[in-house]
């Protein structure tokens, strides 16, 4: 039997009927057509499906859809600011050429956002630790770390 859930994604409220064993990543992608989170491994290894749930990063493939009831979720689509400008993380990923095939990028950027939310001035080591659950098969890690450091620097300048 399907059960009703309500969740807020990127500021918009959605009411959906879900199967108890369905996963948040599938509800986002298949029901809400929010396809930023990627379903890479479906077992929490790759980080491509990372979203921010109630202020904290989670692998959306490891969350049962009913567990997302009442939660606030941010995906890569929600990083852009209301005036249409990109988040500094998005800008710096472009500036640092931190995107190759792009598959890991939504997860990488969301995870970076989650890090900067609790630690606005990370060291390179802290960035690498925070992103250690996100795989990039193009192995563009150095550019990704550079991008996050540059985004943190930019936000610091804007304070």
Partner 1 sequence: MQDPIYLKPETLDRALDYLTEYPQATLWAGGTDLIVHLEHKKLKVSGIIDLTSIPELRFIEDCGDKVRIGALTTIYEIQTSPVIKKEFAFLAQAALVLASWQIRTLATIGGNIVTAAPSAETGCPLILLDGNIIVQSKNGERKIPTNQFFKGPGKCDLAPGEIVKEIELEKLPHGYQTIYQKERLRRSMDIALANAACVLNLDGDKCQEVRIGLGAVAPVPMRAVKTEAVLNGQVMSDELVEKAAQTAASECKPITDIRATADYRRDLIYALVKRQLTALWKAGAE
Residue 28: name the closest of 148, 36, 140 by CA.
Answer: 36
The one among 40, 57, 78, 106 contacting partner 1 by CB under 8 A: 57
Residue 106 found at the interface with partner 1 (CB under 8 A): no
Q: What is the rounded distance in angstroms from the CA atom of residue 55 to the CA atom of residue 53?
A: 5
The token pair that represents 61 in the structure block:
């493939």
Task: Determine, following the binding rule CB under 8 A, whether residue 73 of this chain makes contact with partner 1.
Answer: no
How far apart CA 9 and CA 6 sit, in angstroms, is 10
Query: Does the protein bind partner 1 through residue 50 (CB under 8 A)?
Result: yes
Q: Is 64 in the site for partner 1 (CB under 8 A)?
A: yes
User: CA-CA distance, 49 to 100, in Å (whole number)?
Assistant: 17
- In the bound complex, what is the minimum distance in angstroms from residue 76's beta carbon to partner 1? 14
Distance CA 23, CA 50 (A): 13
Residues 110-149: x/- map of binding to partner 1 (CB under 8 A)? -x--x-------------xxx-xxx---------------
- 2 touching partner 1, by CB under 8 A: yes
Q: Does 30 bind partner 1 (CB under 8 A)?
A: no
């Amino acid at each position: 039997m399907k059960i009703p859930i309500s969740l807020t994604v990127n500021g918009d409220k959605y009411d959906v009927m879900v199967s108890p064993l369905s996963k948040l990543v599938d509800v986002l992608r298949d029901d809400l057509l929010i396809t930023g989170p990627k379903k890479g491994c479906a077992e929490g290894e790759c980080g491509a499906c990372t979203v921010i749930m109630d202020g904290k990063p989670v692998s959306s493939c490891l969350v049962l859809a009913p567990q997302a009831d009442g939660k606030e979720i941010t995906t890569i689509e929600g990083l852009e600011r209301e005036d249409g400008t990109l988040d500094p993380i998005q800008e710096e990923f472009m500036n640092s050429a931190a995107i190759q095939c792009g598959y890991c990028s939504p997860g990488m950027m969301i995870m970076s956002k989650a890090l900067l939310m609790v630690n606005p001035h990370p060291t390179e080591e802290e960035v690498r630790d925070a992103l250690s659950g996100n795989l990039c098969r193009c192995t563009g890690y150095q550019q990704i770390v550079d991008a996050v450091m540059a985004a943190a620097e930019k936000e610091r300048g804007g304070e």
